[in-house]
A and B are shown apart, each in its own frame.
Chain A
Amino acid sequence: MPLLRNNEIIENDPWTFFDDEQELHSDWDYAIVTAARFLQLASDGEQLPDGVRVAPDDDVHLLKPYISQLKLICISFPVYTDGRGYSHARLVRQRFGYKGELRAVGDIREDHISFMQRSGINAFDCISMPDLTLLKQLITRFEHTYQPSYPLSKLG
């Protein structure tokens, strides 16, 4: 899946997602696990990976104590019409003060990226190669919005 970050296509993304059945490598640096597994590892006192993936029905508040040690948080949108990820992203960025990469994964399409950015997401694992000219137009179309605390991206 093509990865877009700060409006650039990123080649060679080092991160790997491990589903709950997969054994974790000894190389912990670029592993992403589900929030459920992450919290289980935490409660077991195990070493924690740097990346976590939040599903729509996860309680994102449970990740709050670990925010400062995480290097990648993925917000999953299994279908683009499921808007729970927007609230998760808003909380992670605004409430928990997360400063690292916040990545939308799943059914990610150009016309929705602007709202995702305004909710705090800054990287997008798109379903297909995004049209950057179109994307720039979509992101910069509205010069004024009605929700100042959800600022327009400066990245466009």
Chain B
Amino acid sequence: MYHYTEHDKAFVQARVDEFSDQVARYEQGKLDEDEFKQLRLRNGLYYQRHAYMLRVAIPYGVLSADQLHQLGHIADTYDKGYGHFTTRQNIQYNWPELQDVPKILQDLADVDMHAIQTSGNCIRNTTTDPLAGAVADEIEDPRPWCELIRQWSTLHPEFNWLPRKFKIAVTGSKNDRAAVQVHDIGLRLVKNENDETGFEVLVGGGLGRTPHIGSVINSFLPSADLLTYLNAILRVYNQYGRRDNLYKARIKILVNAMGIGAFKDAVETEWANSKHEDDSFTTEQIDALKAQFPSAPAIDDVAITEPREIHSNPLFNQWYQSNTREHRDPGRRIVFVSLKSADAPAGDATGAQMQAVAKIAAQYSESEIRTTHEQNLVLPHVKISQLYELWRALGKQKLATANIGKLSDMIVCPGLDFCSLANAGTHTIYDQINTRFDDIDYQHELGDISIKISGCMNACGHHHVGDIGILGVEKGGVEWYQLTLGGHAGNKAAIGKRLGKAIPKEGVADAIEKILATFIEYRSEEENFNTTFERIGVEPFKEHVYAIAA
């Protein structure tokens, strides 16, 4: 993984010092409330319902064991002993004191981390495939490109005050695990007919109040032009994106209003000039970044293709089937660490769990951990011969729930309990579903299915792209839930279709039970929910859920 240079270290240290001074000036009354808010947001510090909330950047979801250990230390030292992994592969702490935040930023800087641009109307943390560099289906490892974008976008002087936040996702694989079609800019590494590497560039995707699937603005951008092209898109957006209405300020609204053809013309016109003026990079620079992401050492013993314990231990086998994936080295597996147990909110981990996973990663996964936008962790490089030991070690930390991709592997935003934007609670729905469907064998029978829960239309829980999307709404002081079906975030990205009128809080698990019963009734063998839904549409589900009891 990427190791900070002396420049990077000095830069992050300067940022810590700058923010420490800004906090001091704020406390002395030399910075007004509103300006301090803008400055702290660009260091990831929100003020939420009860307290400050600090969002720490995990660039493209890659962590070293030392970094995860430190995140656990921060949870234990400055927070209530836990942290929350987000749908943007970052981590949030919900209870820091303002005077501790400079200390937290210092602890982060000590392990080459920061909270820069994790909020505010600027370029946010670039996200990617959590399995990057470990899967066989990759055209190229996206992480060096993500690091290039990270550096270019960090405290970019021209783009720190955009109309609205701006999110970039990159995939290096044909199987999109980074949801590039629902980002402000999505980048897909592709090869052209001459076997040269470039990017397919999508623009104007996004969830939120008005979900859009991104449009292709350039089907093959030579990789050498990446930064100048991004710069041109950002400049057009910065100049022409709407600023009169918060809810119409994302780039998707601009692209939609202009039409992709006119937007592309504007970008290409700008780029014709700007490509010779703006920051680019040399082959040596990108090669040096690529050299920082070597493959995991090859396993010599290729005779072991699966752990023998799967034949003797059904629980281990169940976990192996659902929580591990094929690695490009046949001697290794990719392991998902589920943060979706019934004991804690989705995506939460205690400081002790973080430090335990750090230790496990050091021992079993080349000291590397990934975070996923589904709010789980990944140990990307585990030797097949060590899987059983690893499973036992994870089990001791309650981190071996065999539910990856299954019904209880829900994406859940913080909701009314923690977020000042939310209209409705999400944790209670998560609990309700967990309680109703606590039979893991039943979940495995259902196959892969995604439930995504947002507490308001800002859609941080990605409900639009869940097989079952649940959106909390408030009517007359009461929490209701709007269900959508058939959404998808991968290659066949689709926005879910509305099931019908909103459902009262206590009825959500009932409605889901009926949806699942309909699925089981209609599914052909081997079909997962998504395929059945595509075949039969929303009507049979609607009829069953809203049928008046005879």
Q: Which residues of A contact B (CB under 8 A)?
A: 56, 80-84, 86-88, 90, 94-95, 109, 111, 114-116, 118-119, 137-138, 141-150
> Is B161 in contact with A87, judged by CB distance below 8 angstroms?
no
> Is A87 in contact with B11, judged by CB distance below 8 angstroms?
no
Nearest CB of B to A41, in Å: 24
> Is B277 in contact with A143, judged by CB distance below 8 angstroms?
no
Near A by CB (< 8 A), chain B positions 180-217 give: none
Contacts of B21 in A (CB 8 A): 137
The docked-state distance in angstroms from the alpha carbon of A144 to that of B15 is 11
> Is A111 in contact with B121, judged by CB distance below 8 angstroms?
no
Contacts of A84 in B (CB 8 A): 238-239, 243
> Is B238 in contact with A111, judged by CB distance below 8 angstroms?
no
Some 8 contacts from A to B, beta carbons below 8 A apart, are: A80-B161, A83-B159, A86-B158, A115-B160, A119-B158, A142-B15, A143-B10, A150-B158
Residue ID in chain B nearest A147 by CB atoms: B279
The docked-state distance in angstroms from the alpha carbon of A114 to that of B155 is 11
Contacts of B157 in A (CB 8 A): 86, 114-116, 118-119, 147, 150
B interface bracket (residues with beta carbon within 8 Å of A): 20 to 34
Assess whether B235 is interfacial by the CB under 8 Å rule. Answer: yes
Q: Mask for B44-77, Cβ within 8 A of A = 1, else 0?
A: 0000000000000000000000000000000000
Residue ID in chain A nearest B9 by CB atoms: A144
Assess whether B35 is interfacial by the CB under 8 Å rule. Answer: yes
Assess whether B301 is interfacial by the CB under 8 Å rule. Answer: no
The docked-state distance in angstroms from the alpha carbon of A111 to that of B154 is 17
Q: Mask for B467-481, Cβ within 8 A of A = 1, else 0?
A: 000000000000000
CB contact between B10 and one of A95, A109, A118, A144 (< 8 Å): that residue:
A144
Contacts of B238 in A (CB 8 A): 83-84, 86-87
Given known contacts A83-B162, A115-B160, is B151 in contact with A146 (CB within 8 Å)? yes
Contacts of B239 in A (CB 8 A): 84, 87-88
The docked-state distance in angstroms from the alpha carbon of A87 to that of B297 is 46
Q: Which residues of B contact A (CB under 8 A)?
A: 7, 10-11, 14-15, 17-18, 21-22, 31, 35, 38-39, 121, 151-152, 154-162, 235, 238-239, 243, 273-274, 277-279
> Is B154 in contact with A149, judged by CB distance below 8 angstroms?
no
Residue ID in chain B nearest A149 by CB atoms: B279
The docked-state distance in angstroms from the alpha carbon of A113 to that of B7 is 22
> Is B11 in contact with A144, judged by CB distance below 8 angstroms?
yes
Given known contacts A81-B121, A83-B161, A144-B10, is B277 in contact with A95 (CB within 8 Å)? yes
Known: A88-B239, A111-B31. 19 other contacts (CB 8 A): A81-B38, A81-B121, A83-B160, A83-B162, A84-B239, A86-B158, A87-B158, A87-B238, A95-B274, A111-B22, A115-B160, A119-B157, A144-B11, A145-B11, A146-B151, A146-B152, A147-B156, A148-B279, A149-B278
Contacts of B243 in A (CB 8 A): 56, 82, 84
Q: Which 7 A-B pairs have the closest CB atoms?
A: A83-B161, A115-B157, A118-B157, A144-B7, A146-B151, A86-B158, A149-B279
The docked-state distance in angstroms from the alpha carbon of A73 to that of B510 is 65
> Is B160 in contact with A111, judged by CB distance below 8 angstroms?
no
The docked-state distance in angstroms from the alpha carbon of A146 to that of B431 is 45
Contacts of A88 in B (CB 8 A): 239
Residue ID in chain A nearest B236 by CB atoms: A87
> Is B158 in contact with A146, judged by CB distance below 8 angstroms?
no
> Is B17 in contact with A141, judged by CB distance below 8 angstroms?
yes
Contacts of A144 in B (CB 8 A): 7, 10-11
> Is B160 in contact with A147, judged by CB distance below 8 angstroms?
no
The docked-state distance in angstroms from the alpha carbon of A83 to that of B160 is 7
> Is B22 in contact with A149, judged by CB distance below 8 angstroms?
no
Nearest CB of A to B410, in Å: 35
The docked-state distance in angstroms from the alpha carbon of A81 to that of B34 is 11
The docked-state distance in angstroms from the alpha carbon of A62 to that of B121 is 28
